[in-house]
Chains A and B, each alone.
Chain A
Amino acid sequence: MENPNAKAQRHRQLRSNNIDPIKQMRENHPSTNSEDDQRSSLLDLARAEITESSNSKTRTYGGFPDPGSGSGPSEPQAPFPDQVLENVLENVLHFLSSRRDRNAASLVCRSWYRAEALTRSELFIGNCYALSPTRATTRFTRIKSVTVKGKPRFADFDLMPPDWGAHFTPWASALAQAYPWLEKLHLKRMIVTDADLTLLADSFPDFRELVLVCCDGFGTPGLGAVAAKCRYRSHLYSSNKLLLLRVLELVESVVEAVGDEEVDWISCFPDSQTNMESLVFDCIECPINFEALDSLVARSPRLKKLRLNQFVSMAQLHRLLLRAPQLTHLGTGSFSANDPGGVGELVQDYTTAFEACRSLVCLSGFREIWADYLPTIYPVCANLTSLNLSYADVNAHQLKPVIRHCHKLQIFWVLDSICDEGLQAVAATCKDLRELRVFPVDAREGTEGPVSEVGFEAISQGCRKLESILYFCQRMTNAAVVAMSKNCPDLVVFRLCIIGRYRPDPVTQEPMDEGFGAIVMNCKKLTRLAVSGLLTDRAFEYIGRYGKLVRTLSVAFAGDTDMGLKYVLEGCPNLQKLEIRDSPFGDGALRSGLHHYYNMRFLWMSTCKLTRQACQEVAQALPNLVLEVINNSEENAGDDIEVLYMYRSLDGPRDDAPIFVNILH
């Protein structure tokens, strides 16, 4: 870790530079900005990074650290205009917010690279193992917001042992040292410990926003630390102390108490008024102190998002609604009563409370729904843009009176318990629907399910603006998929999961190739695709030929030969994330992607036909790739590998890999 004094000195040097960086750059590192070279220039930049940072560390005397040459003392004084140019550049770059634009800007030349690094305030790390925390904090010195993602998505489905990695701890310490002004932290699929959370709470006096998605490893003690310590900062001209924390969101994270230690974290918030805007804890599997919560809501006038866990009853929800009618996003908690007595009169009270919430646009929760309570939400339906019923097994009959009012609905998550009939009702009303997710109540392979191509087709007819769909079903026809490809040309995300593996079209007995082919052909904006059902290499031929914008592809139990994967690797230039399981793709296919692997975030292949030999070859051919081979059973000591998880890394393989992970090099 770099000495803070050396770093400060380097910063001062950057401000008063003695060298004409552009001249230097032209001599040492010609700009490679042509479009074709854009990808390899990324790697050149990485190498240049290595040279620069190693230089700056060995500098002991004054003088501008030599950008690329790695030798010699400082150059003669540069003319004044270049300094002005750099200042102007920094000011302009401040306005660039999209990280893709910033990445492009940083490739223009060394001067732009530096200016961009100084002006970037949001750091996005898509794979925590793609680089060391130090590299990130060295390049970007003024970061206020950090996002880090860890495990690959297939880890969610138990395809990887839970202690594989993605520990946040090394990042926590690096960030604590480098960015004391940090305000926001978003983590996804990382292992976060209570100690990490405590470190965060102690290290960042300006901290405002913590979002943990699909994380685990922490419990209520860590939350208590965050609630308690992200607190005081004296207002400049008054003695008021403010709670700076604004956002605390736990989304689908596993929160358990290890060793029976549970902390009443809600009570850890300070007693004074808070700045809380968003409090999301619907995934917490412990009861909470309701009185403390009630009081917290009462003293949080800015609260807009509140998502309760299933330990909050309907009656308690009612009290909270009366406290906070200004809510825009509500997770209702259990939405059921502790005892069924006296339901009738209360329904009216609850309805009145909902009626007062005129700003409510997003509703979720319903964890243990009592269908009798559904009518209480009628008053807010007309304003809803997002409704998540995916934890409530509601049938069509119960859904219809609700959905009938939801004209503005754009996002709808639901269980297949509503059946095709329920989907038809959705299609009839929700003309503005953009995103639909239909989850299965019963996830076992069967022949009949409550939803099918009938509901699917209804949706495609009624919801022409659809952009994103996730649909679990037991049966689907090519015709319905083709119809959707034509009716919904704006589709960006298409994920169809036919639960029965290798299922052909039940009407024609054909593979599902034509359906998925139509999707990639007709949906010109498609960036994410998940396929299922009986699929031959033909489906992949279509994807390779037409899926030019596809960035994420999920494949399971599909394809016939290596050609399938070859089509994709050779045809999809924007492919970033490829996850494949149980498909007959082997070494030949793996080799066909060598030209592209440095451009990808990762490749996952499990239970395919890869051999260790071929993986070794790839590891040798591409030294900046990390190939993790995970074998799941002691029996399988042979050449066949079970799981390959492959990703690019600027800092070589990680040092925290458990014994069952074999890293090839």
Chain B
Amino acid sequence: MLGKEHGLNLKETELCLGLPGGGGSGGGGGGGGSEVETPRATGKRGFSETVDLKLNLQAKEDLNENLKNASKEKTLKDPTKPPAKAQVVGWPPVRSYRKNMMTQKVNTEEGAEKTTSSTASGAFVKVSMDGAPYLRKVDLTMYKSYKELSDALAKMFSSFTMDNYGAQGMIDFMNESKLMDLLNSSEYVPTYEDKDGDWMLVGDVPWEMFVESCKRLRIMKGSEAIGLAPRAMEKCKSRS
């Protein structure tokens, strides 16, 4: 909101600090601090948080002016616009349960077209890992690449390591033998259920397409995912 009007996309430059063991849905908050130093109308210095990786992009004067001109600013009710201001974790205090309900409603109402709406309202998907007792939920719009997603998953599920993923942070689908090795092992691989209801190996499509089509994630042993490989290869080939 404020950032956008000054030509700054805070989201792009934001560095995420995920909570250990979870918090994919709140990954952008970096501990829920106030990432922007906000001056008060009374002129007193506000509470400023010095967390290493936060980038203070907002000029003090600009914000002051904005607070005074509050009434002149346009309403941002259109849910298709992405939030220009980075979301603070857990604020406002609306329970995730209720937030998810409203997110689902917004998505349903806007129909099949999900490009901008999922960015605005988040693309929450459930993540389960075979053998782990709890499900997690992640907001795929919080990540910009498979690498980021894999990092987050690795944090959430300690048995899930990144050794086989190479520099790109994702499975190399072009190398069939390497793929089959992975799938024959007892290493965990991430799979997802797509819009068609098919279970696919994560990484077979470009990231943006993945965010659009992923409905839920499941991390399973490579040996179990082996049944998916032929289909993954087929779908991969048919797309390229």
Contact = CB atoms under 8 A, between A and B. Distances in A.
A445 interface: yes
Interface string B1-38: 10000000000000001111111011000111110001
A157 B96 contact: yes
A607 B126 contact: no
A509 B25 contact: no
Which of B47, B79, B89 has the most chain A CB atoms closer than 10 A to its own CB?
B47
Interface in B129-160: 130, 133-136
Contact of A442 (B77, B95, B136): B77
B44 interface: yes
Contact of A504 (B41, B77, B94, B105): B41
Interface string B80-119: 0001010111111111111101100100100000000000
Q: Say what secondary structure dominates the interface of chain B.
A: loop
B51 A448 contact: no
Interface in A632-649: 632-636, 642
B17 A633 contact: yes
A313 B77 CA distance: 30
B128 interface: yes
Contact of A632 (B31, B98, B126): B31
B135 A256 contact: yes
B99 to A, nearest CB: 6
A10 interface: no
B41 A446 contact: no
B40 interface: yes
Interface stretch (B66-74, B165-173, B174-182): B66-74
B21 A660 contact: yes
Contacts of A252: 95, 97
Given A154-B90, A556-B93, A584-B47, A445 B85 contact: yes
A156 B105 contact: no
B32 A582 contact: yes
B198 interface: no
Contact of B32 (A159, A390, A560, A635): A159
B31 A439 contact: no
Nearest to A510: B41
A445 to B, nearest CB: 6
Contact of B31 (A367, A390, A642): A642
Interface stretch (A46-54, A485-493, A495-503): A495-503
A287 interface: no
Given A391-B101, A443-B99, A632-B31, A472 B94 contact: yes
A506 B70 CA distance: 8
B42 interface: yes
Contacts of B23: 158, 161-162, 632
B208 interface: no
Interface string A447-461: 110000000000000
Contacts of B38: 501-502
B46 interface: yes
A651 interface: no
A441 interface: yes
A511 interface: yes
Contacts of A161: 19-23
B49 to A, nearest CB: 7
B65 interface: no
A193 B89 contact: no
B68 A509 contact: yes
A536 interface: yes
B79 A582 contact: no
A607 B32 contact: yes
A390 B34 CA distance: 29
B94 A259 contact: no
Contacts of A497: 92-93
A446 B76 contact: yes
Contact of A441 (B42, B67, B88, B102): B102
B240 interface: no
Interface of B: 1, 17-23, 25-26, 30-34, 38, 40-42, 44, 46-47, 49, 51-53, 67-68, 70-71, 73, 75-77, 79, 83, 85, 87-99, 101-102, 105, 108, 126, 128, 130, 133-136
Interface of A: 154, 156-159, 161-163, 191, 193, 214, 216-217, 252, 254, 256, 258-259, 283, 367-368, 390-391, 393, 439-448, 472, 497, 499, 501-504, 506, 509-511, 534, 536, 554, 556-557, 560, 581-584, 606-607, 632-636, 642, 658-660
Which 10 A-B pairs have CB atoms at the shortest separation, nearest pair first? A157-B90, A158-B26, A584-B47, A633-B17, A161-B21, A504-B41, A161-B22, A448-B75, A660-B20, A162-B22
29 contacts: A156-B93, A157-B91, A158-B26, A158-B90, A159-B89, A161-B20, A162-B22, A252-B97, A254-B97, A259-B128, A390-B98, A439-B94, A443-B94, A443-B99, A444-B83, A445-B1, A446-B1, A448-B73, A511-B40, A557-B91, A582-B32, A583-B47, A607-B32, A607-B33, A632-B19, A632-B20, A633-B31, A636-B31, A660-B20
